[in-house]
Amino acid sequence: MPYSVLQPVQRRRRSRSKRPLVLLGVALVLAAGSLAASQHWALAHGKPHHKRAVSALTPKPVSAKTLKQLRAAASEQQVAARAPFAPGTRLLLPAAPRLQQMGVRPVTAPAAILVDAGTGAVLWAKRPHQRRPIASTTKIMTAVLALEHLSPTKVLRVNPLVTRVALNREGLRAHERVAVWKVMYGLLLFSGNDDALELAIATAGSKGAFLRLMNEKAAELGLHDTHYTSPSGVVDRGNHSSAYDLAALARYAMAIPRFRAITRTHIAHVKWAKPTYAKTYVNKNLLLGTYRGADGVKTGWTTVAGHCLVVSARRGGTSLIAVVLHAPDPYGDARRLLNFGFANL
C-alpha cells in the first residue's frame, strides 16, 4: 500500500565511528599540555615565549584625561536618569503663547494648554493657571519621586496598608515581594492606587512623609498652582494643579529615560512570583497606537475632576505636550491641540 503524505517516515541513520573524534580530542589535550609546559619553563627562566601574550596581561594606566571623561560620562548618565534639568531651570518659558492668535478648532475642556516640549515654549493656552482637581495625573509626580529615590531593581515587601486603598487597585498582596520597576508599570499603565501608595511608603517611609516630599518637589520645580493630598489622586479635596503646572511637570518627567520608556509602552507582559506567575498591563492612554507619534503621558478621572489627560507626541524633530482638564471629549481635544501644533510649527 503506498505511503500517505501524512505518515511519518523515519530515515535510517548510518552508524558512524567515534574513533576519529576521540583521537582528535587526545591530540588537542596533548598539544595544550605541551604549550603550557613550554610557557611555564620560559617564564621561570625569564624568557617569555610570546611577548604579546605577557604584555596583554599587564594593566595599562588610565590617563587623567580619560579618567575625567569617564567620570563626566557617568555623571551625565546619572543626571539623565535622576535630575533632567538643573535646579532653578524654568520648565516653561514665561512669554505669551506663540500660536494663541491662530485659529484652533474648539476645545471642550475648560482648562487646556499646548507646549513645545523641546523648548518649553507655550504655544496655546486656555485658563492655564486655573486650579482644578487632577485625579490620577497626580501619579506623574509619584513616579518622578520614586524614580529619583528608588533603584528600579530594589525589591519591595508590600505594606498591608496598600491592599485596603480605595477604588482602582491592581491587586498587590500583603507582604509579597516585588521589584520597583514592576510596580512602576502598575502605576503608570494600569494606574493602580495600591501601586501609588506602595511606592510612596517605600520612598519616604510613610504616606504623610511622601506627601511632604511631593509638595516640596512641586515648589522646587516652580509649580505654584499645585498642591498634593494624595499620592494617587483618588482624593480630590486639596489635591489640585493646573494645565500649566501639569505641562511643566510632564516636560520634566519625560526627560527621565525610564519614565519615558514606561509611559510610551502600549502593552507590557511582566513575569510575577507565584501564584500570580504573570501580569499584562494595558496602557489606558488611548492615543498610543492610534495617534502617530504619541509617546505618553498619563490619564486620570474622578467624579469631581472629570476626565483629565496629559499627552505627549513626537514627529520628526518636534515634540509636543498637551493637557486638558475636566474635558467632555479629552481625546478629541488632545488630537485637535496636537494637530494644531504640528501643523503650525
**pTM for this structure?**
0.77
Which among 139, 182, 217, 298 is annotated as catalytic?
139
- Residues 186-206 have a mean pLDDT of 97
- Is the pLDDT at 86 greater than 60? The verdict is yes
Residue with the three cell numbers 563626566 = 72
What pLDDT is recorded for position 240?
A: 98
User: What are all long-range contacts of 265-271, with beta carbons under 8 Å and residues at least 24 apart?
Assistant: 265/185, 265/189, 268/185, 268/189, 270/182, 270/185
CA separation, residue 38 to residues 31, 57, 206, 332 (Å): 11, 18, 67, 79
Alpha helices in the chain (DSSP H): 19-44, 51-57, 64-82, 139-149, 180-185, 193-204, 207-220, 243-254, 257-263, 330-344
pLDDT per residue over 270-285, tens digit each?
A: 999 999 999 999 999 9
- Is the pLDDT at 36 greater than 60? The verdict is no
Query: Does residue 18 carry a catalytic annotation?
Result: no
CA separation, residue 161 to residues 193, 272, 290, 321 (Å): 11, 21, 37, 35
Contacts of 89 (CB under 8 A, 6+ apart): none
pLDDT per residue over 284-323, tens digit each?
A: 999 999 999 999 999 999 999 999 999 999 999 999 999 9
**Confidence label for 84 from pLDDT (cuts 50, 70 and 90):** confident
Query: Does residue 230 carry a catalytic annotation?
Result: no
What pLDDT is recorded for position 308?
A: 98
**Confidence label for 95 from pLDDT (cuts 50, 70 and 90):** confident
What pLDDT is recorded for position 167?
A: 84
Q: Are 299 and 327 in contact (CB under 8 A)?
A: no
Query: Does residue 232 carry a catalytic annotation?
Result: no
- Residues 24-42 have a mean pLDDT of 59
Which among 191, 232, 242, 319 is annotated as catalytic?
191
pLDDT per residue over 123-173, tens digit each?
A: 999 999 999 999 999 999 999 999 999 999 999 999 999 999 988 999 999
**pLDDT averaged over the chain?**
85
Which among 126, 136, 182, 217 is annotated as catalytic?
136
